[in-house]
Amino acid sequence: MREYHLITSGKITAKNEEFKARRVLNQELATLVKFGFHNPNKMPDFTKAKAAQKPGSGEKKANHARLHQFLLNQSFQSK
């Protein structure tokens, strides 16, 4: 039962992170469209902000490593 909970909570967390990343991209797109339509000379530069933030990559790897370790421990305990 613990394995099921760990796997499903990891998938839910990954899906939530994916939704957050999509929201950020949609907000940036809306801002660019707004500036492109109304005032293209003052277009903001999002490339600097993107380099500073990489959403979810470290957390996803940590969750995967935790799941892998848990499953290995369960395998060794059953033997």
In whole angstroms, what is the distance from residue 6 CA to residue 9 CA?
A: 5
Counting residues of the chain whose pLDDT is more than 90, the rounded percentage is: 6
CB-side neighbour CA atoms (13 Å) of 40: 2
- pLDDT surpassing 70 at residue 78: no
Q: Could you give the number of structural domains in the chain?
A: 1
pLDDT digits (tens, 9 = 90+) for 1-29: 778 888 888 888 888 889 999 999 899 88
* Range of the structural domain that residue 41 is part of: 2-78
Sign of CA dihedral 65, 67, 71, 76: positive
Question: What is residue 60's predicted lDDT score, i.e. its pLDDT?
Answer: 78
Look up residue 45 and give its DSSP letter. Answer: -
